[in-house]
Amino acid sequence: MAFRSAVITFPGSNCDRDLAVALEKVSGTPALRVWHGDAELPERLDFIGVPGGFSYGDYLRCGAIASRSPIMRAVIEAAERGVPVLGVCNGFQVLTESGLLPGALMRNAQLTFTCRTAPLRVENSQSLFTGGYEQGQEIMLPVAHHDGNYFADEDTLDRIEGEGRVAFRYLDTCNGSRRDIAGILNHAGNVLGMMPHPERAIESDHGGSDGRALFESAVKGLVAA
């Protein structure tokens, strides 16, 4: 059976096409496009992508309004059933605002927009998303955000660290994130939120391909299953 993925588009999304292209290039099957106002997801999905951008103009808080969109109720239900969900940048913010991931993304500590390639370390290579990497592998992925400063209280940080739910960690001071966290998993391991953009690093001609393994790992794991 062909791999079936969907990418959500909100008003203000600007990385939805990049995410859809990455999924198609790796899986060979076009991603289905889903509008934020839809109440239901397509049937039999293997993977859901929540893209980067500036949903609803980042009004109120980044991701806050998008997290209340009709489609997010269906995304939450799908995630609770075990469907893999990847939230990138603004998508990470949406996932925290919707309660699928703990913590919050605040204004960068330097109070400026950061747009560059950032060095990361793979902290968990055992998840569906990160199985294509080696534990401790250092990779380079683009970042482009103004509100990527991950915050959670110390008890929450200790818990996600202890449960191996930190997927990626910055190797430099990127945005002030607590414990340099760049991406985290939910307790079940089927939801990943990350500020760096793996979908922008799938082809060497575009400056790097370190993000490709994330999509290959997910597609391979899901097709094999």
Query: Given 15, 97, 174, 197, which residue is catalytic?
Result: 197
Measured in whole angstroms, the distance separating CA 45 from the mean position of its chain's CA atoms is 17
Give me the amino acid identity at 125: S
Q: H-type helices in 61-183, by residue range?
A: 70-80, 90-97, 154-162
Whether 115 sits among the annotated catalytic residues: the reply is no
Whether 15 sits among the annotated catalytic residues: the reply is no
Query: Given 89, 97, 123, 174, which residue is catalytic?
Result: 89
At a CB cut-off of 8 Å and minimum separation 6, what does 96 contact? 63, 102, 103, 104, 105, 193
Whether 197 sits among the annotated catalytic residues: the reply is yes
Closest CA to 142 of 59, 80, 200, 209: 200
What does the block give as tokens for 160?
């996600």
**Alpha-carbon torsion, ordered 196, 198, 202, 204, to 10 deg:** 20
At a CB cut-off of 8 Å and minimum separation 6, what does 60 contact? none
List residues with catalytic annotation. 89, 197, 199
